[in-house]
Copies of this chain bind each other. A is one copy, B any other.
Amino acid sequence: MTATRTVELEGHIIDSGMMQRAFGIVMDLDGSFEVEEFDVGKHKDKTSYCRMSISADTQETLQEILHELHQNGANLTDPVDAHVEPAPADRVVPHGFYSTTNHPTEVRYDGEWIGVENIEMDCAIVLEPDPDGREEPRAYTKVLNGIEEGDLVVTDEAGIRVQPPERPRDSSGPFGFMQGGVSSERPSESLIEQVAEAIEETKAEGGKVLVVAGPALVHSGGALDLARLIREGYVDMLSAGNGFATHDIEHGLYGTSLGMDMETMEHPRKGHKHHIYTISEVIRAGGIAEAVDEGLVEEGVMYECVENDVPYVLAGSIRDDGPLPDTITDAVEAQNAIREQAHEADMVLMLSTLLHSVAVGNCLPSDVRVVCVDINPATVTQLLDRGSSQAIGMVTDIGTFVPTLADKILGPAAEGETDGDGYYETDGGADDDSDHGGGHPCGGN
């Protein structure tokens, strides 16, 4: 063993699994350790401390081990300043740049530890020694395509400190109960109750709730209950795609989603072109807000977003029809819009969309509350694997989840607000009918 360094761990390092992972890393990577000091927290509210020296055959192996260790919260005892190198060109990072985790991170500069702003996975860290001449150095993340020539990019592992979240000591809170594993065999209504409480708690604390939604929410009949939650102020931001907005508006215009009447489930043949007509009408109006203003759209998620000033990001994808004018078609631009939402969110509900949920999840730090709901366990697993420590996964039917959630938060929908099936009554009168009829884009002849 030619190479040796000393690291230390501190905190609830046993019951958070940090010690276990640290020992595992060293052994997996063919290193060895010698524990120099180990003070175990004697009570459950006492932290523990471990200092150990790590050795490996080569300097390179040691670096790998230290890299992994420090991603798990083990830090060098003799910290040095972080190395920085200027980016040689736009979008080009220096060799050996440090790629971030989604955990709270600090870099050492001039002997001081500076918190990295907007922490997010797989980014570079840019250091500004003297921003605005105020002599208060800043460090923040940048995605690869945001790097500009000359940016001082942190390289190497030295002088960086990561704090992976500890397992909550108290498992009784709404997000404490779910440790690993995704299963449909859990008490659904109790779990929804917990999610409802977490939303209420987040709002009570002044936090922001971001909803990420896919078109299945509309197809399965849950959209109007999400609309209720938006109207009542429980949703602060919406992240979705062109398809979600199209089907939501289609439902408002035609009562269908993907051409199926959502109340009677009859005549599924009638409407397989409704979504295209919907897009065409919104393009004609100039956008969703304009369509709402014109009275073309009178209910639904997008309608409530417009009416209640809830900002939304509609990100485009290659499978889109249209798209709607509101859709951001450039992936980088859309990602930046999503990133801004993610950085503001205190709680995120991911509802039946893998693509948009992953995109949002990529931008989240590890301490944001996340609830992932999908009927496909593989989707939920994939989302939870992204390393949020405060994530709940639920394998359930989005078409019953959202109505149940809305009922738990708001009480049942008032008479005339929605019908028994979770849909708004068509209020009926001739006027309304002729409105819809007159707007029927394929009508006439």
Contacts and interface: CB of A to CB of B under 8 A. Distances in A.
A96 B441 contact: yes
Given A15-B24, A187-B220, A189-B422, A177 B42 contact: no
A356 interface: yes
A410 to B, nearest CB: 13
B355 A319 contact: yes
24 contacts: A24-B167, A27-B169, A29-B270, A34-B42, A59-B445, A95-B441, A96-B443, A171-B266, A177-B266, A184-B216, A184-B397, A185-B216, A187-B221, A187-B257, A189-B400, A189-B422, A190-B422, A193-B421, A318-B334, A321-B362, A329-B330, A396-B397, A397-B397, A400-B401
Contacts of A19: 14-15, 19-20
A408 interface: yes
Contacts of A184: 216, 220, 375, 397, 399
Interface of A: 14-17, 19-20, 23-29, 32-35, 38, 40-44, 50, 59-60, 63-64, 68, 91-93, 95-97, 99, 122, 143-145, 156-158, 167, 169, 171-172, 177, 181, 184-194, 216, 219-222, 257-258, 260, 262-267, 269-270, 273, 276-277, 279-280, 283-284, 315-323, 327, 329-335, 338, 355-356, 358-359, 362, 375-378, 381, 385, 395-397, 399-401, 403-404, 408, 420-423, 441-445
Nearest to A356: B318
- The interface centre, meaning the residue of A20, A50, A257 with most chain B CB atoms within 10 A of its CB, is A20
Nearest to A258: B185
Number of copies: 4
A283 to B, nearest CB: 6
Contacts of A99: 273, 276-277, 442
A280 B193 contact: no
A317 B319 contact: no
A427 to B, nearest CB: 18
B316 A320 contact: no
Contacts of A258: 185
A354 to B, nearest CB: 8
A269 B317 contact: no
A335 to B, nearest CB: 5
A28 B445 contact: no
A282 to B, nearest CB: 11
